[in-house]
Structure 1
């Protein structure tokens, strides 16, 4: 399949897409060394800098790899799936099992490391969750996730905070579905308030084991609902 010259703009995106097509359609199988930058630039009708940026994008997608002194080689014919996309595709029970492991440890750390500012943020998030009981299921789930995010933030570990931020979008929509399908708020518009209040209290008191145990019990209850639905 001939590469063909490209339109003026946006050149990098067009070059990346053309080269990606060559790879994904099997024109350059895994293990193939790509033509040099000069040859690709001539075939595509662009400058070497554009080709270089396109190859960098393909490397970021996990399709090619540069080997020092040898060239650029095809290492896969399908782009690597990014972490958020993988979470969206994963079974909710699998995501939730990892959430239990991450958050329970975070709760213990939060109790050990919390600052006055963290405690204030937790109390505000708990109050917001309680106030959201009068709102829609989506509003309540958002407030619930915000409280959990505040607990993770209090652990003082930016990697944990970033990891939870990646999990949150994958959890949100399916938790809203769960609340609606099971009618979890029909008889109690603020389910789990007592356990969440106990969690905040344990963190405030600096009782790591209690914070971990309270949160584990709460998350395991939700996980049981998810497994029953699966």
Structure 2
């Protein structure tokens, strides 16, 4: 595919996209040295500064790498998706399986590390989840997630907290869809209260095994519902 001049508009973005197409389309294989800035600028009909910014963006995407005194070389022909992008593309069941790994470990750590402030936050989150039983499905799901977030926060591990935060948007949508599709709260507005109360109690009592076991059982039940034919 020939390069050809670009239309006016955000030129850096256009130049980046055109060069990306050349690389991902196989016109420039891995190991190929790209034409110089002047040549690329002429082909694209833009200034050298625009080409320089486009090459910087491609380097940030992991497609090219400059070599001092030698030029810019192709090092990959496909863009590796970022973690947030992978999550957005993932099935909610796949994300839920990873969530189990993160949250069960977090619950066990929370039982060992929780502070008085954490215990107050857990009690408040459980009370709010119970209060949300009389509200809409979306509000109930939000209160449920807030309780789980409080457990993760009590683990005092910023990496676990960040991972859980990344999961939340997809989890929220999946849980809202599940509650509505299976009408889980029709006969039980405060669906899952016993399990959540037991989780808070285990963390409060400093029992890591009970906290991990209780949360795993609760999440496994939800995952089974997500896998069910009606979900």
Q: Under TM normalisation by the shorter chain, which class is it? A: 0.7 to 0.9
Structural mapping, 1:84-123, within 5 Å: 84-123=84-123
Deviation at 1:6, TM superposition (A): 4.4
Deviation at 1:162, TM superposition (A): 0.8
2-structure distance, mates of 1:117, 1:53: 48
2-structure distance, mates of 1:182, 1:145: 19
Q: Residues 190-222 of structure 1: CA distance to partner in whole angstroms, max 9, x if unpaired?
A: 111121122112222222222111111111111
Secondary structure of residue in 2 paired with 1:180? helix
Q: 1:8 to 1:175 in 2, by over 3 A?
A: same
Q: Residue in 2 aligned with 1:184? A: 184
Q: Residue in 2 aligned with 1:39? A: 39
1-structure distance, mates of 2:91, 2:105: 22
Cα RMSD for the two superposed structures: 2.2
Secondary structure of residue in 2 paired with 1:77? coil
Q: Residues 93-136 of structure 1: CA distance to partner in whole angstroms, max 9, x if unpaired?
A: 22211111110000011111122222222222222211221222
Q: 1:145 to 1:68 in 2, by over 3 A?
A: farther
Q: Does 1:29 align with 2:37?
A: no
More off after superposition, 33-42 vs 141-150: 33-42
Secondary structure of residue in 1 paired with 2:34? coil
1-structure distance, mates of 2:108, 2:202: 9
Secondary structure of residue in 1 paired with 2:228? helix
Deviation at 1:164, TM superposition (A): 0.7
Q: Residue in 2 aligned with 1:218? A: 218
**TM-score normalised by structure 1 residue count:** 0.88
Structure 1 stretches of 4+ with a deviation exceeding 6 A read none
CA contact 1:63–1:80 (8 Å) conserved in 2: no
CA contact 1:29–1:77 (8 Å) conserved in 2: yes
**TM-score normalised by structure 2 residue count:** 0.88
Number of equivalenced pairs: 230
Q: 1:96 to 1:51 in 2, by over 3 A?
A: same
Q: Structure 2 unaligned runs (5+)?
A: none
Q: Residue in 1 aligned with 2:77? A: 77
Secondary structure of residue in 2 paired with 1:190? coil
Structural mapping, 1:196-211, within 5 Å: 196-211=196-211
Q: Residue in 1 aligned with 2:13? A: 13
Deviation at 1:8, TM superposition (A): 5.7
Q: 1:49 to 1:119 in 2, by over 3 A?
A: farther
